[in-house]
A and B are shown apart, each in its own frame.
Chain A
Amino acid sequence: MDQNIGQKRYKWRIITGQVILLLACLGIIEYLVRSGIVGSLYLSKPTQVVEEIYKLFADGDIFHHLFVTLKEFAAGYLLSAFAGIATGMVLVLVPHAETFFRPYLSALMAIPKVTIIPLLMLWLGIGLSHKVAIVFLFCFFTIAFNTITGIKQTAEAHLKVARVFEASKLQTVVKVILPSAAPTIFVSLRVSAATGLVGALFGEMVASKDGLGNLLVQSTSLYDTAKAFAIITIVTVVSVLIIAGIDLLEKRIVLRWKSSS
């Protein structure tokens, strides 16, 4: 009991300290900009950023851009998740497929994705499909490779149990192999959620008509630093929320049965 209270007190002290440090940093920035030591072109006052965020939501324009970005991300991400898991499964479960296709996959993965964004523009224009393709390329390979690794981690003993019960191929995949691979697949789903969002934003910054990335480029080209910071803050919150959503999904599907203290 005592130890529990001690731990709680410790936790609160840490949190209080962290909040104080954050406020201090913001305060220093506020002071630096207010006093003119740093020009408002380079940094902006935290109070003004908050005001900008309020303004963005107040005139409602942000919702359109947010929706566009989220739509691009969601489409590309879901597509890459399905395709990545399916590709990984086919490569491991079809005999010799992985040995045959691995060099191709590795070579494709090695291409820095940003270098083909201009080409994609040529092929797909600057609309939704362009961004979906970018998000897909940012996520697909990680998910496919993690699926391969995950499937290979299936315990030999667990497969033996399935054989003893005369499980069919399909049953073995659905009831043994996929659950075994799930934790490894989830790791890649979490990592690619972050990179996928970066892909959507970057695509928008390079060529687009709308979306948060587009809005960001607009504001910086108008030297509206406060607005830029406001958008960066919003994007960060979106990213955190997406990852929290995936963590929640993982908890419901995987962590329930994983041993944790």
Chain B
Amino acid sequence: MAGFLISGVSKIYGGATPTESLQNINLTIQDGEFLSILGPSGCGKSTLLEILAGLQLPTLGEVSFDGRKLKGPGIERGVVFQDPSLYPWRTVFKNVELGLELRGVERKERREAVQRYLDLVGLSGFEHKYPHQLSGGMKQRAGLARALANSPEVLLMDEPFGAVDHLTRLQLQDDLLKIWEADKKTIVFVTHDVSEAVFLGDRVVLLSPRPGRINRIFEVPKPRPRKRDDLGLLQIQNEIYAALLEVKSAESLEFTI
């Protein structure tokens, strides 16, 4: 089973005043599942994603992927970053090629794969542009293609559409779903946007802040393609808003500001 098993994960950042970023997270992520992780800022959702990516290690507890305990990053887990973090000195083509190049894949094979994924994310024609010549949405597409080009089993996405305008964002969501439906990779999608989390996910994990804990897990049993104005989806959104309100009122004033 190529899913994640997260058991008893806590993350504490040391220093003069140690802060607990995550507290006792227990979660199973199924193979092929589209899981949204939702939460307000400061709830440790990016930390959780980085732990899944192997970029950080949990202070307590452990995470296993495909039955093996995680010890660091691995090419079977692709990451799409919040700021797409393209290398400005490489063209779009060379950025997407990066993972394959680092693995020493043969040139011809590399080219074919890069072109295939650029076409898939709708960036054909922009191969020789530099990142500074792209719009925010196109940069995110390039970041997605870069992760996909390495054929990972899982995509870990950290608020990937947070910085683009609303209409572009809706388009990117549709395109991401299309790509996901084509080969059903497991996707873990971190966001702070309730409608995005519900529209995309099979399940939505709601985190509470300081320290980050699992508040509730919402099932979204609607079949795809989903409509954005589907009453069932809106109802789940409303439940999540209600749960968020509880989280807020339980927290200090500082959080509401």
Contact partner of B132 among A160, A161, A254, A257, CB < 8 A? Answer: A257
Question: Of all chain A residues, which has the CB nearest B156?
Answer: A164
A167→B85 CA distance, assembly (Å):
16
Q: Which residues of A contact B87 (CB under 8 A)?
A: 158, 161, 176, 179
Q: How far is the CB of A163 from chain B (nearest CB, A)?
A: 5
Contact partner of B102 among A157, A167, A254, A256, CB < 8 A? Answer: A167
Q: Count residues of A near B (Cβ-Cβ below 8 Å).
A: 23
Q: Which residues of B contact A179 (CB under 8 A)?
A: 87, 89
Q: How far is the CB of B232 from chain A (nearest CB, A)?
A: 36
Contacting residues of chain A (171-186) with chain B, CB-CB under 8 angstroms: 171, 175-176, 179-180, 182
Which secondary structure dominates where chain A touches chain B? helix
Q: Which residues of B contact A115 (CB under 8 A)?
A: none
Q: How far is the CB of A219 from chain B (nearest CB, A)?
A: 47
If A165-B98, A166-B74, A166-B75 touch, whether A157 touches B55 (CB-CB below 8 Å) is no
Q: How far is the CB of B4 from chain A (nearest CB, A)?
A: 16
19 A-B contacts (beta carbon < 8 Å): A157-B81, A158-B87, A160-B79, A161-B81, A161-B87, A161-B98, A161-B146, A163-B73, A164-B78, A165-B73, A165-B75, A165-B103, A171-B102, A175-B98, A175-B101, A179-B87, A182-B89, A256-B130, A258-B88
Asked if A175 and B102 sit within 8 Å, CB to CB, the answer is yes
Chain B CB within 8 A of A28 CB: no
Asked if A155 and B85 sit within 8 Å, CB to CB, the answer is yes
Q: Which residues of A contact B55 (CB under 8 A)?
A: 160, 163-164
Chain B CB within 8 A of A16 CB: no
Chain B CB within 8 A of A259 CB: yes
Chain B interface size band reads: 20 to 34
Q: Which residues of B contact A182 (CB under 8 A)?
A: 89
Q: Which residues of A contact B132 (CB under 8 A)?
A: 257-259
Chain A CB within 8 A of B160 CB: no
Contacting residues of chain B (72-96) with chain A, CB-CB under 8 angstroms: 73-75, 77-79, 81, 83, 85, 87-90
Q: How far is the CB of A35 from chain B (nearest CB, A)?
A: 59
Q: Which residues of A contact B146 (CB under 8 A)?
A: 161
Q: Which residues of B contact A175 (CB under 8 A)?
A: 98, 101-102
Q: How far is the CB of A45 from chain B (nearest CB, A)?
A: 51
Question: Of all chain A residues, which has the CB nearest B130?
Answer: A257
Asked if A165 and B81 sit within 8 Å, CB to CB, the answer is no
Chain A CB within 8 A of B201 CB: no
Contact partner of A257 among B75, B78, B90, B150, CB < 8 A? Answer: B90
A166→B75 CA distance, assembly (Å):
7
Contacting residues of chain A (135-178) with chain B, CB-CB under 8 angstroms: 155, 157-158, 160-168, 171, 175-176
Interface centre among B55, B89, B90, B103 (most CB of A within 10 A): B89
A161→B98 CA distance, assembly (Å):
9
Chain A CB within 8 A of B53 CB: yes
Chain A CB within 8 A of B44 CB: no
Contacting residues of chain B (89-139) with chain A, CB-CB under 8 angstroms: 89-90, 98-99, 101-103, 130-132
Asked if B102 and A165 sit within 8 Å, CB to CB, the answer is yes
Question: Of all chain B residues, which has the CB nearest A157?
Answer: B85
Q: Which residues of B contact A171 (CB under 8 A)?
A: 102
Please give 4 more A-B residue pairs, beta carbons under 8 A apart, in addition to A157-B83, A158-B85, A179-B87: A164-B73, A166-B75, A182-B89, A259-B132
Asked if B73 and A257 sit within 8 Å, CB to CB, the answer is no
Asked if A166 and B88 sit within 8 Å, CB to CB, the answer is no
Interface string of B15-57 (1 = CB under 8 A from A): 0000000000000000000000000000000000000010100
Question: Of all chain B residues, which has the CB nearest A156?
Answer: B85
If A157-B81, A157-B83, A160-B81 touch, whether A166 touches B89 (CB-CB below 8 Å) is no
A167→B83 CA distance, assembly (Å):
20
A158→B102 CA distance, assembly (Å):
14
Interface centre among A167, A168, A257, A258 (most CB of B within 10 A): A257
Q: How far is the CB of A233 from chain B (nearest CB, A)?
A: 39
A166→B90 CA distance, assembly (Å):
19
A123→B185 CA distance, assembly (Å):
69
Q: Which residues of B contact A257 (CB under 8 A)?
A: 88-90, 130-132
A254→B146 CA distance, assembly (Å):
22
Question: Of all chain A residues, which has the CB nearest B150?
Answer: A165
A157→B103 CA distance, assembly (Å):
20
